[in-house]
Amino acid sequence: MYKGLVESLAERRGRSILLCVLDGLGDLPIPELGGRTPLEAASTPNLDRLASGGAVGQHVPIATGVTPGSGPAHLALFGYDPVDFFVGRGILSALGIGFPVRAGDLAARANFCTIGPDGTIADRRAGRIDTERNAELTELLSAGVRIPGVEVFVRTEKEHRACVVFRGEGLSEAVSDTDPGHDGLPPEPPKALDPSGEVAARVVGEFLRQAFAILADRHPANGILLRGFACHRDFPSIEQRFGLKAAAAAVYPMYRGVASLVGMEVLACNDIDEEVRAAGKAASDGFDFVFVHHKPTDSSGEDGNWKAKAEAVESFDRALPGLLEHGFGVVCVTGDHSTPCAMKLHSWHPVPLLISGGPQRSGWSRRLTEREALAGSLGTFPAVELMPLLLSSAGRLGKYGA
């Protein structure tokens, strides 16, 4: 994709777009399903109707063979080159809990952990302490840690998960994780990954010294591990780039975070029914682009539960007519990446997608499945090229050249 080309052609008028992301949608053939994927095995009358009347294809989330995290995968779907617009875990965590990050802030994802008598990590998740205990500890740390010239914010995510944001001059993200990734090892000291990271490494080291002192008698949460150091920079918004006033309906904080990063208005929801209503309200409030996130396809894939994954697809299928009632001009259903049940992990496999509405080569596919996607009229393309296809389908992209 040529840099800046699509932005230069985007028009600020046209039909509205609904993008439904079934997280981790793509899968592999499953022997117990007779070689079908969960998507093939699911009963999806509403998706089938949409596929028959629209066009089907598949996207490659980042690049052939590359497995994406959720952040880059969603950014690509929103039309942001996932390498040019890389966002580290720390910033995604901070955005996900609604922390008002500013340009230059350095954020890290944190785990409360249990440190054993020998100084090694006995449990990287501190026995999955409950969220209330977590909140008590983050308040202690916020109140107790003092670093000259640097503001430190410690915020609760959920269970053992928290987020730390450092605000001050000269903080770079070139700092190594302190979480070694396995129990039985000692926490790593934060190290500068290049000279630009030296100030930040000292600040993080001082934070950890004070934090471990404060947490010392708080077993099982007597330690804290930091990873995914990331600095915040201002992103051009989806409205600036593509002329789309956009809203996001999502249950999980992480997806709200990545949506807010590109300037979407975040509609916090607790379940798919609330998402359907929120999408409807956004449509009637004049939003041009609504992103709806559906998580259970990914969770069940990570559990390796193909039955639950097919059911997660079916629960979306049941919600679909409610979404279609809102009169979007173009509807796209896809995933951000594959989460094959056999792997219990994100994977690099292409992800099926369908587009309904606008001029399409339609009538060539009957279903949205991995197999039909491969032969669908939309072909195979990088996820970052989805946005131009949606904009064109919605009559929102001008002609290139005379």
Least distance in angstroms from the C-beta of 19 to a second copy: 14
**Residue 188 token pair:** 């790593």
> Shortest distance, CB of residue 347 to a second copy, whole angstroms?
6
Nearest CB to a second copy, comparing residues 195 and 359: 359
Residue in 350, 354, 367, 372 binding a second copy, rule: CB under 8 A: 350
Q: Determine the interface stretch with a second copy among 38-46, 140-148, 214-222, 358-366 (rule: CB under 8 A).
A: 358-366
Tell me the window of 17-25, 197-205, 242-250, 388-396 that interacts with a second copy (CB under 8 A). Answer: 388-396
Buried b (16+ CB within 10 A) or exposed e, 65-87: eebbbbbbbbbbbbbbbbeebeb
Burial (Cβ within 10 Å: 0-12, 13-18, ≥19) of residue 130: exposed
Q: Check residue 284 for interaction with a second copy (CB under 8 A).
A: no
CB proximity list for 291: less than 8 A, separation 6 or greater: 19, 21, 78, 246, 247, 248, 249, 250, 259, 264
- In sequence order, what are the beta bridge partners of 352? 58
CA atoms within 13 A on the CB side of 269: 26
Q: Would you count residue 392 as binding a second copy (CB under 8 A)?
A: yes
Region of 191-199, 238-246, 289-297, 392-400 interacting with a second copy (CB under 8 A): 392-400
Does position 257 bind a second copy by CB under 8 A?
Answer: no
Using CB under 8 A, pick the residue from 7, 9, 15, 212 that binds a second copy.
9
Using CB under 8 A, which of the segments 170-178, 202-210, 312-320, 372-380 binds a second copy?
Answer: 372-380
Contact 194, 174 (CB under 8 A): yes
C-beta of 91: minimal distance to a second copy in Å?
A: 9
Phi, psi of 246 (to 5 degrees): -120, 150
- Whole-number Å distance between alpha carbons of 347 and 341: 10
Closest approach, Cβ 278 to a second copy, in A, equals: 25
Residues 52-111 that bind a second copy (CB under 8 A): 62-73, 82-83, 86-89, 92, 109
Determine the residue type at 76.
A
Identify which of residues 87 and 137 has a Cβ nearer to a second copy in the complex.
Answer: 87
Eight-state DSSP code of residue 254: H
Q: For the packed helices 70-77 and 386-393, what is the interaxial angle rounded to 10 degrees?
A: 30
For a second copy, the closer of residues 76 and 115 by Cβ is 76
Q: Does 346 bind a second copy (CB under 8 A)?
A: yes
Q: Candidates 123-131, 141-149, 242-250, 377-385 — which segment interacts with a second copy by CB under 8 A?
A: 377-385
CB of 265 to a second copy, least distance (A): 23
Looking at the Cβ atoms of 97 and 147, the one nearer to a second copy is: 97
Neighbouring residues of 187: CB distance < 8 A, sequence distance ≥ 6: 113, 115, 121, 178, 179, 180, 208, 223, 225
Give yes or no for residue 2 binding a second copy (CB under 8 A): yes
- Give the long-range contacts of residues 72-75, CB within 8 A, separation 24 or more: 73/336, 73/337, 73/383, 74/21, 74/255, 74/258, 74/259, 74/336, 75/258, 75/261, 75/262
* 60: Cα within 13 Å, side-chain hemisphere: 9
**Separation in Å, CA 337 to CA 249, 326, 382, 387:** 19, 27, 12, 16
Question: Which one, 52 or 120, has the nearer CB to a second copy?
Answer: 52
Q: Where are the alpha helices (DSSP H) in 192-295?
A: 198-215, 238-242, 253-261, 272-284
CB of 68 to a second copy, least distance (A): 5
Stretch binding a second copy (CB under 8 A), from 159-167, 181-189, 195-203, 373-381: 373-381
**399 forms part of the interface with a second copy (CB under 8 A):** yes
Does 388 help bind a second copy (rule: CB under 8 A)? yes
| Total interface residues for a second copy by CB under 8 A | 65
Q: Which residues contact 361 (CB under 8 A, 6 or more apart)?
A: 55, 377, 378
Subset of residues 182 to 241 that bind a second copy, contact rule: CB under 8 A? 228
The helix (H) or strand (E) run that includes residue 334 is strand 330-334
Q: In the bound complex, what is the minimum distance in angstroms from residue 34's beta carbon to a second copy?
A: 10
Residues that bind a second copy (CB under 8 A): 1-2, 5-6, 9, 28-29, 35, 62-73, 82-83, 86-89, 92, 109, 228, 340, 342-343, 346-350, 359-364, 370-371, 374-375, 377, 379-381, 385, 387-393, 397-402
